[in-house]
Structure 1
């Protein structure tokens, strides 16, 4: 507690010091006052007030005390109400002169100093806020050094109080419109010149109708040329959502399903740095926001891959060569004098997984042969464990650095060894089962989405559907709490009571009408699950509700949880594999059972999907990497949407979102 008081005292002393130096003024907000009115009163901009009072951005409250800046300790002009009514303000920028300001607004030196008496004693200083008298007048400039002076004719000046805003370096239309309580459409309607771009330093009309300028000629021709050149730099579009700016920065338009995390990864900067460049991100990430981001060479906006069917076969007749490195560990089985082969097959789960994968792969190879794929497949025993393998020796002995693709090995460390050994020829190494982050190799393709990708897919979907997201997370679910903190920090958490039970009142208070309320539930506690479900079901007559889980939850499969309630709430969850039966699934199951007398396991189906997808990409008229960058594919149970990782290599973001439908079937959420 004493530390708290010490901090408070320090802050108060700091504020008093600022006041005593004449650099700030205290203002007590009165009922009905707006930030614009207060800014006008003290001849500052709303941006100046927000900088010292960040809490004011969420709205003003009666009796709130604001710190009002008096920049550089300069005096604030005291003008009579009658004078202010027909005036605007101007903040003095570096390198500006009285002559330039007077010419800019078409006023005389006498009138400017009359409106700002302190200029006589203090002179012009950077940061001063000048009162610019507005009147019906015509001022004609004269020639100066052979250049045209300003010729401005102002007519029809309105008595309405004008509010202007000079665009700063880090600002966007979104942040400016939010600051003044406007929509972007309203801002563009008042300022049609900024519909296509937003030049730094441009003066926006926020309130009132700016005086009509009938004729205006720039003071110096070189100023015109400089402005035109700057405009060209700022409006050179590299692609529909990314515009290059000067000083190694670019403007990026936020696309659907993007999050603060995905944007930080896309542009290879921290989330804090991204918020520093774009303060409006601290509130939320919204589609259409224009962000300032680091410009990189050949930087392009990632395009969401559409799932397509790759059917075009190479026409030049050149055969492809594909190798499969699978951990049969035959030598270990032969040397096992304790267990028989039968007992080993019965107990060795890793070997069973390998054999299932292999059985599925054989069907893929047979299907490719039937379709006429010109591919020769070589299968090798990688003899791998977590601690080592024969991968390096196999690659060297069989010249596998010259094949067109390698499927396997299973372990991440062994897949990395293979990728490193064949990297010189850029041979794709497709890792079929590992989802470890590992070391970056540009030719390594990981086919299983990471846990983060799986969870992010859920939140991207909910945001893309403009949902209201709340989360109920048991304190025992520390990994989920950490994930939300790291990647979904804006999602509110439902409160718990002192006895540890979930607060139904807290959950209900977070619901929103007119939107789908996605309730993310992460707990294995039966009573807690019942409370959440009962609260949601009771709210359904008033609110649109959907229950969401991020990880498998065995408690939901028990008799204590009514299945009908899960269908009412359309329980949604992410899955690496498709959980519903399709025509393709039925065909594969039937063929597999006919060959092996059993239905396929998930590993068998994955063996087919990974192998067939790799072969399909090899027989296109373009390189393997090109098919990966251009196309996402979907087979029996698995999706393959590869994206290049920031540190190298490719990761698969193909995740299914499944839900329980009211007809008691599981369907894919689109």
Structure 2
């Protein structure tokens, strides 16, 4: 509480930078809104209101609006659609331009063929393909239905209507089925038809080569290797729909530049090396929502704190960040920190105004906002200046954006790390999966084809005979358990314990399972089987960890929550990366770190964007403590 209402935060005032801004005009047509016009010209509604202060949200037809023209861009009205030309400025990159106009690399190069031969050069005038032309080549986005999801929840998640969802997936009109592979946006990728060569037009010919699948390779790793989506790879090789098998001969693009990045980055303890002496700027966009708290006439502040979990999470994260800021000040690090109230909900925020009013284009790193879609919006607004935006709490995969960094590993990354660990130990991997978990079975078949599914009895339980028949002597047999059914868990554990006299066995779960924590499951058996699982955080009993917790407790009179620790770890990690005489982006590409309880091992996502793959593999040890598996 004292942090939220009493502590003084030194807000750094960024130097005002004045840009010469050209404008164009737009005549309002019947039914148009400010939001639609802003999207058309790729500006914000705030930009339009700024130049047209007298204009209300409800526009009158034939009203003439002033529209700001982006730096380096000329927008020319042309028969109800905008043709955009962009003049390349110093320090601009293809990624930056593509993200600025929300176009793909393929579409931009198709509209400007000279980019393939000459590359990007200062002063070039690029044609930005219109949305209508790009619509047919929009990349398909899919969603696999999991238990308890509805058409409404899926449509809401992706910002579409149920009617639009059913139009793209007519099979779900009668009802939704768990495990269904739904098309959300874009068009399904179909095999290309032969192009008829016309006179005067040279038709490019795609060249392919053959690749033999090696052990441990998956559909996901192969798609990354050849810079294709999984759907594109399956179009070239329809047999992949039945799973990846060692020795398969795949048709892949010739002369592929492999995008494989080392999955085992070296972890380093960062020390301050800022010899240049220039001060770094960090901005925190946190959802305090002060106006709502002050405007709440029904609940007192104390009552709101008792009930508002989101506010408590924010205050905990902020308290941890403050401790990181204090540590930086103690170390004498030349860092200025600004803290802003993002005033965000799941679908709204104040970030556009904050960024514009406070010139956050000059920041070295922005931490926040909390909600994934708001973090993505901040990243888009700051992409032209290539300012790194860290999404500190969201586990969502989200939209890949070049300057967006997901600080929390996604569930898919957690699972992949778990399977990679078991493979590194040359383990025999088995899975006991409830028949109701269709999405888990589908995931294993598509992404972990070397994992064998243990057959179940008619009543859904596991027999010791079935399990033992699949165990291998002399190797660790990892049994991945995916069910919330108590009886199924008991029979699996009993079968594993009975096999321990002749085999090496270890129980594995991919995510928290409340049933395992119930009194019906014998905890001693979980210890005996050394229950293992992937985790974003670890237990910390180091001297430094004890010092941190004592200091936090002394200041706040409570022990730090996981959110407070994440607030410290994310903020301190960002600060130390800026003290390496390199940009945040450069250190993220080359250095992995471990703070008190969180790892930060950033890797490029499939295509663009940055995901944290810093995951701990933990297990129950015989001394009843949780330890990190090596």
Judged with a 3 Å threshold, the aligned counterparts in structure 2 of structure 1 residues 464 and 368 are, in CA distance, closer, same or farther, namely: same
What is the rounded CA distance, in whole Å, between the counterparts of 1:379 and 1:448 in structure 2? 21
1:622 alignment partner, one of 573, 577, 582: 582
TM-score (norm 1): 0.59
What is the rounded CA distance, in whole Å, between the counterparts of 1:662 and 1:300 in structure 2? 42
Deviations along 1:304-324, whole A, 9 cap, x unmatched?
211111114210101111100
The answer for the alignment partner of 1:372 in structure 2 is 332
The answer for the alignment partner of 1:421 in structure 2 is 381
1:560 alignment partner, one of 520, 526, 529: 520
The answer for the alignment partner of 2:315 in structure 1 is 355
CA shift for structure 1 position 271: 5.3
The answer for the alignment partner of 1:514 in structure 2 is 474
Q: Does 1:407 align with 2:388?
A: no
The answer for the alignment partner of 1:269 in structure 2 is 228
Given that residues 245 and 449 in structure 2 are in contact (C-alpha distance below 8 angstroms), is that contact kept between their aligned partners in structure 1? Answer: no
CA shift for structure 1 position 569: 1.0
Given that residues 278 and 292 in structure 1 are in contact (C-alpha distance below 8 angstroms), is that contact kept between their aligned partners in structure 2? Answer: no
CA shift for structure 1 position 563: 1.8
Deviations along 1:372-422, whole A, 9 cap, x unmatched?
211100000010001211100000001111111100000111111111111
The answer for the alignment partner of 2:412 in structure 1 is 452
The answer for the alignment partner of 2:142 in structure 1 is none
Task: Give 3-state SS (helix, strand or coil) of 2:606's partner.
Answer: coil
CA shift for structure 1 position 300: 4.7
Given that residues 385 and 411 in structure 1 are in contact (C-alpha distance below 8 angstroms), is that contact kept between their aligned partners in structure 2? Answer: yes
Task: Give 3-state SS (helix, strand or coil) of 1:547's partner.
Answer: strand
Structure 2 runs not aligned, ≥5 long:
1-205
Given that residues 417 and 615 in structure 2 are in contact (C-alpha distance below 8 angstroms), is that contact kept between their aligned partners in structure 1? Answer: yes
1:570 alignment partner, one of 503, 510, 530: 530
CA shift for structure 1 position 526: 1.9
CA shift for structure 1 position 274: 5.7
Deviations along 1:641-666, whole A, 9 cap, x unmatched?
11111232111111111001122211
The answer for the alignment partner of 2:351 in structure 1 is 391
Stretch deviating more after TM superposition (450-459 or 553-562): 553-562
CA shift for structure 1 position 483: 2.3
What is the rounded CA distance, in whole Å, between the counterparts of 2:463 and 2:457 in structure 1? 6
The answer for the alignment partner of 1:534 in structure 2 is 494
What is the rounded CA distance, in whole Å, between the counterparts of 2:267 and 2:209 in structure 1? 33
Judged with a 3 Å threshold, the aligned counterparts in structure 2 of structure 1 residues 614 and 290 are, in CA distance, closer, same or farther, namely: farther
What is the rounded CA distance, in whole Å, between the counterparts of 1:449 and 1:330 in structure 2? 30
RMSD value, Cα: 2.6
Deviations along 1:546-584, whole A, 9 cap, x unmatched?
100011112212222222211111110111111353333
Judged with a 3 Å threshold, the aligned counterparts in structure 2 of structure 1 residues 299 and 497 are, in CA distance, closer, same or farther, namely: closer
Task: Give 3-state SS (helix, strand or coil) of 1:414's partner.
Answer: helix
What is the rounded CA distance, in whole Å, between the counterparts of 2:219 and 2:519 in structure 1? 40
1:586 alignment partner, one of 528, 540, 546: 546
Q: Does 1:327 align with 2:294?
A: no
What is the rounded CA distance, in whole Å, between the counterparts of 1:367 and 1:253 in structure 2? 50
TM-score (norm 2): 0.63
Q: Does 1:645 align with 2:620?
A: no
What is the rounded CA distance, in whole Å, between the counterparts of 2:249 and 2:438 in structure 1? 35
Given that residues 520 and 548 in structure 1 are in contact (C-alpha distance below 8 angstroms), is that contact kept between their aligned partners in structure 2? Answer: yes
Residues 149-164 of structure 1: pairs in structure 2 closer than 5 A: none
What is the rounded CA distance, in whole Å, between the counterparts of 2:538 and 2:246 in structure 1? 30
Given that residues 580 and 666 in structure 1 are in contact (C-alpha distance below 8 angstroms), is that contact kept between their aligned partners in structure 2? Answer: no
Deviations along 1:22-55, whole A, 9 cap, x unmatched?
xxxxxxxxxxxxxxxxxxxxxxxxxxxxxxxxxx
Given that residues 207 and 253 in structure 2 are in contact (C-alpha distance below 8 angstroms), is that contact kept between their aligned partners in structure 1? Answer: no
Deviations along 1:85-138, whole A, 9 cap, x unmatched?
xxxxxxxxxxxxxxxxxxxxxxxxxxxxxxxxxxxxxxxxxxxxxxxxxxxxxx
Given that residues 227 and 259 in structure 2 are in contact (C-alpha distance below 8 angstroms), is that contact kept between their aligned partners in structure 1? Answer: no
Number of matched residues? 422
Task: Give 3-state SS (helix, strand or coil) of 1:373's partner.
Answer: coil
2:432 alignment partner, one of 457, 469, 472: 472
What is the rounded CA distance, in whole Å, between the counterparts of 1:590 and 1:254 in structure 2? 50
CA shift for structure 1 position 273: 7.0
What is the rounded CA distance, in whole Å, between the counterparts of 1:284 and 1:502 in structure 2? 27
